[in-house]
Structure 1
Amino acid sequence: MGDHRKEFLKASWANVLTNVLKIVVEGGVGLTFGSLALVADAAHSVADLLASAVVLVWGRLSFEGPDTNHPHGHDRVEPLTALFVGGTLVLLGLKLLYDAGQTILSAPESTYSIALVAGLAFAFCDRAFCYWYTKRVNRNVESAGLAALAADSKNDLYTTGAAVIGVAGMAGGFPVLDPLAGGLVSLLVIHQGVEISRENVNYLVDTAAPKPVRDDIRDEILSHEDVHGLHDFTAYHAGTVYEVEFHAEVAADHTFIEAHDIETELRNDLVSRDDVGDVHIHLDPEGLGEWKDAEERHGSSPIN
C-alpha cells in the first residue's frame, strides 16, 4: 500500500464531514416536510457516517508495520473495516425497506416544498464531491476501506436520484411515490452492502489469487536465471495483498552463500510488487527428484 497515511486520513475525514453535512441538511428538510425518501436517504448517511468513522479509526492500523502481537503486520485490518461498512449497509437497508412498506400500507402524509428540491440538490453535490475526492486519493493509497467508502458515495448518488422520484410524486399529487422511492433506496443500499461484504470476505478467508495473478508471479519466479523448475506454488490473499509460497529448483552445486543470495533475490523481487506482502521460499537442489512426481514441473502445482 505504501506510506500514504496523510492522504488516507484526509480522505477519511472528508467522508466523515460530508456525511455530517448531508445528514443535517437533507434529514432536516425531510423531517420538516414529511418526506420518507429524503429521511431514508439521510438515514443511509447515518450508516455512512458510522462506516467512515470506523474506517478512520481502524483503517489507520493498516499503516502500522509488524509488531510483537502482529508479526505479519496489519494488512487484514483494511478488509475488516470494509466488511463492517458492508454489513452496516445491509442492516440499514433492511430497516429502511420495512419502514417504506409500513408507510405504503398506511396513508402517506407529506407536503411538497421547493426546499425538498434544494435539499436533494445539496445531497447530490455533497456525495458527488466525496466520491470524486475519495476515488482520486485512493488511486495512490489503494485502500480497501477507502474503496468501500468511494463505492458507497457513488451508491448515494443513485439513492438520491431515487429520492427525486418521491419528491416528484409529491409535487404531482402522488404522495405514495415518496415511500416507494424510499423502498427503492433501501434495495440499492442492501445491494451495495452485499457486494462490499462479499469482496472483503474473500480477503479475510485467504482465497487464492486470481489465475492471471498467479501466472504472472509464477512467470516472474521462473524468469530468474538460476531457477530451473517450480512446484508446490501457491499465492493467496493475506488481507488485501498476496502471500506467496513455493519450492524453487536450483543447481545442486551452488554454495550455501550462493543459494542464500538466490533466495534473497527471489524474495526481494516479489515483495517489491505492490500486490505481494510476504514470500516463503524453499530451495530444492537438482538431483533429489522430489518434484518428479508433480503433475507439471514448470507450471502450477495441484495446490492451485
Structure 2
Amino acid sequence: MERKAALRRVGLVVLVGNVLLVAAKAAVWARTGSLALGSEAVNSLTDVAYSVVILGGLYLTTQPPDLEHPHGHERIEPFVSLFVAAGIFAAGGAILWRSIGSILSGSIAVAQGPAAAVVLVLSAAVKFGLYRYCLRVAASNNSPAVTATAVDNRNDILASVAALVGVLGAQAGYPILDPIAATLVAGAILYTGVEIVSDNVNYLVGAAPPDDLRGEIVRRALAHPEVEGVHDVVAHYVGPEIDVSLHIEVEGEHTLLSAHEIESEVIESIRDLDEVDDVFVHVDPRELGEWKDDYAEQLAARDGE
C-alpha cells in the first residue's frame, strides 16, 4: 500500500508542476517571441503529456494481482517509460527542426525585459525539486517509470540553463545565441530519450541483473548451514523486478519435511532483496554430484583471489 500511494503521488505532483511551468513559459513566449523560451514551452508541454501517461501508467502498475495477472502489473512500467521516451524524441526533433530553420533563415526574435529570464530560473528551480523528489521515490520503490521521470527532470534543468544563456545572450546583442540555445535544449531532450530507452530495454528483454546482485543471491543461498552447494542459478528481469531460480544441494538423509523447510528459508532469504520478486528453489541430494560449472563456482573462485 505504501508503494502504491508513493507512486501515484509522484505522478500527480509531476503533472501539477509541469502544468504550471508550461503556462508560465507559454505566456512569456507569447509576449517575447523568444525561440529558446518557445522551445522550453514545447518541452514543458511534452512533459505535461508524459505526466498524464505516467500518472495513468503508475495507476495501472499499482493495481493488485488478479486472475489474468497473477504476478501483479509492475511489468507495465517499462512500457510506460518507453512511451515517455517516444514523446521526448518527438519534442526534441521538432525543436531541433525549428531552431536550425531559424538559424538558416536568419529570422530570430529577441526577448525583451526580464520576464523570460525569471521564468527560466523559476523553471530550473522547480525541475531541481522534482528531480530530487522523483529520484528519492524511484530509489525507494524500484520504479523505472519514476526513474525515467527523474532523468527527464534532471535534463530539463540543463535545458532551462541553456535557454537562459540564449535569452541573455540575445538581449546582450548576440541574437544568434537564442536559436543555438534552442538547439542545445533539443540535444538535451533527445539525450534524455536515449537514456530512458537504454535503462528500460533490459527490463523488457529479460536481461540478467548486475554481477553484484547475482553474487548476493548465491551468497544468501550458501549462507544456509544445511546447503552444501548451489548450481543452475538463473536470475533475470521480468519488468523492473527479478525472478530467480536455482538448485541447492543438501544431504540426502534429510526428510521431505526438513528439505522443504530448508527450501523455504532459502527462498525467504533471497526474496528479502528489494529487487527480487519470485524465487524458485529446487532441492537436490548432495550425493548425486550435480554440481555444475556456473556462476556460483565463478563467484567462489573470484572471492578466493
Same fold per superposition (TM over 0.5): yes
8 A Cα contact 2:232 2:294, kept in partner = no
Letter in 1 for 2:237: H
Q: 1:209 to 1:24 in 2, by over 3 A?
A: same
User: Structure 1's 216 and 20: CA in aligned 2 closer, same or farther, altered over 3 A?
Assistant: same
Q: Is the 8 A contact 2:162 2:184 kept in 1?
A: yes
Pairing 1:211-230 to 2, within 5 Å after superposition: 211-230=211-230
Quote how far apart the aligned CAs of 1:300 are: 5.0
Partner residue of 2:269? 269
Distance 2:281 2:42 in 1: 50
- The structure whose RCO (Cα within 8 Å, separation 6+) is larger is 1
Task: In structure 2, list runs of 5 or more residues that go unmatched.
Answer: 300-305
Which runs of 5 or more residues in structure 1 are unaligned? none
Q: Structure 2: how far apart are the matches of 1:187 and 1:25?
A: 23
Structure 2 CA distance for partners of 1:243 and 1:41, relative to 1, 3 Å: same
1:96 counterpart residue number: 95
Read off the aligned partner of 2:148 and give its amino acid letter: A
1:273-284 residue pairs with structure 2 within 5 A?
273-284=273-284
Describe the SS at the equivalent of 1:121.
Answer: helix
Give the counterpart letter for 2:40 in structure 1: D
After TM superposition, give the deviation of residue 218 of structure 1 in Å.
Answer: 0.4
The answer to whether the Cα contact below 8 Å between 2:233 and 2:294 also exists between their aligned partners in 1 is: no
Output one character per residue of 1:166-218: Cα deviation in whole Å (capped at 9) or x when no partner: 21122112222111110010001111110111111111111001111111110
> TM-score if structure 1 supplies the norm length?
0.92
CA 1:255–1:297 in structure 2 vs 1: closer, same or farther (change >3 Å)? Answer: farther
**Are 1:199 and 2:199 counterparts?**
yes
Q: Secondary structure at the match of 2:297?
A: coil
Q: CA deviation at 1:47?
A: 1.6
Q: In structure 2, how many angstroms separate the alpha carbons of the residues matched to 1:143 and 1:298? A: 29
Residue 33 in structure 1 maps to residue 32 in structure 2 = yes
CA distance in structure 2 between the aligned counterparts of 1:226 and 1:68, rounded to whole angstroms: 36
Q: Contact conserved, 2:233 with 2:296, CA < 8 A, in 1?
A: no
After TM superposition, list the pairs within 5 Å mapping 1:129-208 onto structure 2.
Answer: 129-208=129-208
180-189 or 238-247, which deviates more: 238-247
Mapped partners of 1:258, 1:297: distance in 2: 27
Aligned CA-pair RMSD? 1.9
What amino acid is aligned across from residue 210 of structure 2 in structure 1? P
Q: Is the 8 A contact 1:89 1:189 kept in 2?
A: yes
Figure out how many residues of one structure are paired with residues of the other and give that number: 298
Equivalent residue for 1:299, pick from 297, 300, 304: 297
Residues 141 and 288 (structure 1 numbering): CA distance in 2 closer, same or farther, change over 3 Å? closer
**Given the two structures, how large is their TM-score scaled by the length of structure 2?**
0.92
279-288 or 206-215: bigger deviation: 279-288
Matched ranges for 1:105-124 at <5 A: 105-111=104-110, 112-124=112-124
Q: 1:233 to 1:139 in 2, by over 3 A?
A: closer
**Identity over the aligned pairs, expressed in percent?**
35
Equivalent residues of 1:108, 1:179 under 8 A apart: no
Higher helix share: 2
Q: Which residue of 2 aligns with 1:234?
A: 234
